[in-house]
Chain A
Amino acid sequence: DAGVIQSPRHEVTEMGQEVTLRCKPISGHDYLFWYRQTMMRGLELLIYFNNNVPIDDSGMPEDRFSAKMPNASFSTLKIQPSEPRDSAVYFCASSLKDTQYFGPGTRLTVL
């Protein structure tokens, strides 16, 4: 298996623009997680899905953030409108039962 795939790997955008991050989990995994990593806050869990259903989105910082999982092999995290404080590395992870496997991350820079 190729592991968790994320795209794009790097994204630079201007404040106010919409940003969409994409994730393909490991085939057969039934949990999918979105994390954000910054120097100040470390790793933060934003939202996670089980069998494509959002279970806990309490980590989503604001209404500007939304996440979807239309099927078992694809998820998106959207920020609209983006702000400079959203600059971070966003990770997707997937798991079957307990052990999570992480993707390489998307480095987002909002100017």
Chain B
Amino acid sequence: GEDVEQSLFLSVREGDSSVINCTYTDSSSTYLYWYKQEPGAGLQLLTYIFSNMDMKQDQRLTVLLNKKDKHLSLRIADTQTGDSAIYFCAEILRSGYSTLTFGKGTMLLVSP
């Protein structure tokens, strides 16, 4: 079955690192994504990782993938108040139909 799970809430102080975690159940996942949703806005693609990779770094963002444990994480270095948003983890399967399975989202609150 397909299921993506995330913790619902994370609170950090400005300047600290944030780590948002996600677990998925389908080992057939080909791509795993992180989307960011600010209040009243749509989902913005942040980054993605192909399933044959362990890590991907993009400026302040680091994605780690542990395929054995089916665990995905997003680390945000030097977290800023503008990073406050809901972060969604999503997986796409090898079915070729391009449908994403989303987690419920993690609300990140960054305090000054």
Chain A positions within 8 Å of B, measured between CB atoms, are 4, 31, 33, 42-43, 45, 48, 50, 55-56, 91, 93, 95, 97-105, 107
State how many angstroms separate the Cβ of B83 from the closest Cβ of chain A: 19
Main secondary structure of the interface of B (DSSP, over half): strand
- Shortest Cβ distance from B104 into A: residue: A42
Q: Chain A interface mostly helix, strand, loop or mixed?
A: strand
Given contacts A99-B48, A100-B45, A102-B43, 13 further A-B contacts (CB under 8 A): A45-B99, A45-B100, A50-B98, A56-B97, A56-B99, A97-B98, A99-B33, A100-B98, A100-B100, A102-B45, A103-B42, A104-B42, A105-B42
Q: In the complex, A103 Cα to B35 Cα: how many Å? A: 13
A-B CB pair tally, cutoff 8 Å: 45
Find chain A residues with CB under 8 A from B42 CB.
4, 91, 102-105
Count class of interface residues, chain B: 20 to 34
In the bound complex, how far is the Cα of B43 from the Cα of A93, in angstroms?
9
Contacts of B31 in A (CB 8 A): 98-99
